[in-house]
A = this chain, B = another copy of it.
Amino acid sequence: MKTTIIKELTRIELKNPILIEGLPGLGMVGRIATRYLAKQLKAKKLARLYSPHFPYYVLVNKKGSVRLLRGEFFFWKNEAGENDFIFFTGDSQAQTIEGQYDVAGCILDFAEKNNVKTIVTIGGYRKEVEKTPRVVAVSTSPRLLNEALKAEALPSSAGNPIVGTAGLLLGLAKFRKIDAICLLGETRGYLPDPRAAKSVVEVLQKMLKIKVDLSEMDKEIEKSKEIVARMQEIEKRREKYAQKMRRVEEERISYIS
């Protein structure tokens, strides 16, 4: 495989589709949110993206078979609303600089071909989150940005970088006259963070006028809280030990000098 390819699994006419993208990244926020939406809406398989810029391993699945790392497009026919949806998520981001631009370009090729006029990308935003994580929005379209702010997202301060596919899609979409918005859930980023993903999903529900059941996500959040608590316990002990070592070292120095 020499180039990034997209394999279509089905052909379907979509009504003013909006593309929602979320790949692994900070706190896995994009991937968790996008997968959750696709699953709850019972979105169906549309296409797969393979790339020689993905890591060079395969994953074993439950049936003892394997598959290449890939990106996956799903679609959802939104009978009640004006826009159908395409979801894009996957196993990995591209691993090289040039690969990142290439994969983002291929996603946009597919979006254009399916007549997508609006893209939502989802990611994480590193922050020491105290209570409920907030959602930061940036957009190439003042209209979209405004809708996000109405849905209680916050504007971003200037100068912030948005790294990876979630960012590049916005930057590159401009050249194709596709409006795009990026929603970033605040997260410490160390561990998969369903709490941040939930905040993003809540903003998206308001913006896109869709409704999904969030109870499954709340279960994920409960599970992750236990993990976080254990991790913090370990960190605390490590910090305590480091402090002790520093004190010892300082005493030794003051004693000798």
What residues make up the interface of A, taking CB atoms closer than 8 Å to B? Answer: 1-2, 7, 52-68, 95-102, 104-105, 137-140, 142, 145, 155-164, 167-168, 170-172, 174-175, 182, 244-245, 247-248, 251-253, 256-257
Contacts and interface: CB of A to CB of B under 8 A. Distances in A.
Number of copies: 4
A157 B60 contact: yes
A161 B226 CA distance: 27
A58 B155 contact: no
B248 A160 contact: no
A248 B244 contact: no
A98 B96 contact: yes
> Chain A binding site: helix, strand, loop or mixed by DSSP?
mixed
Nearest to A167: B58
Contacts of A95: 97
B66 A170 contact: yes
Contacts of A7: 175
A66 B157 CA distance: 11
A61 B167 CA distance: 13
B248 A58 contact: no
A248 B20 CA distance: 57
Contacts of A63: 142
Contacts of A256: 248, 251-252
Nearest to A256: B248
Contacts of A142: 63, 65
Contact of A168 (B56, B170, B175, B253): B56
